Chains A and B, each alone.
Chain A
């Protein structure tokens, strides 16, 4: 019994060290708030088109039988600037279907931003009052969703996508090797 008492602090230390080691090496992000959207049908999409003269965006655009990438962006958002070339590459080299949604952004500002940086979006919507963003569980911009051909959300990235996301999840997803 007494010996056990002496071992107790050491045991506690070992437990804590183990937890810290796991936290550091497992790639767990304690700041991540997760997403409840993954595995569920994509939320409602009903938005006016960003580019003048185009048809509004509807749920049908997410259920075409082909995987779709949905990206919320804004011209005032710096991380969006950083990830934008990746979407351009996805659209040009991989022929990905990308739907861009300007969030809390004036139409002219968003259009000017796309004109300057290039427009990789097959369809583009305008979510000026952020109601669609709320329905999608958005916490800010940029956020990106991968939606499969049946309209089910498979991935939800909060923050800018990176080169690593591209090679590890997005490209395999587009090729259909990742569910």
Chain B
């Protein structure tokens, strides 16, 4: 979050400064042409469409070996920052997230496999640290709950549909004399 906000400001400020925005103009001066203003505004919005969410990973943290760094990024994306509920350590600029990124890189440099690095983190912070929870007895409901509900609901719908189809369509009884007279009266009325 903080990463993307930082990028937003980095991106806006040069444009804003050049056009003098943010500086209070004396009222006697003419305002800049509306067209020029909105063009810049639109350009801004247009360019913002191409921005990517910035990571909190700082240049000083990046490993010289691009292969190791890309593995570190892959791991960092699936490790949860333990103080920010639902951000990965790569997305968070929290102190603890930075320490965890450093530890990931240290483990990788020491020759650990990805699995070792995950085990290292789980040994310290538990399964909570994994953004994708492992499939085991304690997480069965989490993994199978939704598919199970879908299955049960689907089966119920299927049974209901079958039952309806199995029922023969009974044509309605023809009107008797009395009913016909009342209907005629109503239609004429």
Q: Which residues on the B side are within 8 Å of A172 (C-beta)?
A: none
B128 with A33: CB separation less than 8 A = yes
Does B189 touch A at the CB level, under 8 Å? no
Does B96 touch A at the CB level, under 8 Å? yes
For the residues of B in contact with A, the DSSP-based class is helix
**8 A Cβ contacts from B82-102 to A:** 82-83, 85, 95-96, 99-100
Does B124 touch A at the CB level, under 8 Å? yes
Pick from A36, A134, A140: contact of B103, CB below 8 A. A134
Does A79 touch B at the CB level, under 8 Å? no
B124 with A130: CB separation less than 8 A = no
B95 with A137: CB separation less than 8 A = no
By the criterion of a CB under 8 Å from any partner CB, how many residues of chain B are at the interface?
14
Does A104 touch B at the CB level, under 8 Å? yes
Q: How far is the CA of A133 from the CA of B123 in the complex (A)?
A: 13
**8 A Cβ contacts from B140-165 to A:** none
Q: Which residues on the A side are within 8 Å of B85 (C-beta)?
A: 31
Q: How far is the CA of A169 from the CA of B124 in the complex (A)?
A: 23
Q: Which residues on the B side are within 8 Å of A137 (C-beta)?
A: 124-126
- Within the complex, the shortest CB–CB distance from A153 to chain B, in Å, comes to 12
Q: How far is the CA of A36 from the CA of B126 in the complex (A)?
A: 5
Q: How far is the CA of A154 from the CA of B122 in the complex (A)?
A: 19
Does A135 touch B at the CB level, under 8 Å? yes
List residues of B whose CB falls within 8 A of some A CB: 82-83, 85, 95-96, 99-100, 103, 122-126, 128
9 contacts between A and B (CB under 8 A): A33-B125, A36-B122, A36-B126, A104-B95, A137-B126, A138-B96, A139-B96, A140-B83, A140-B96
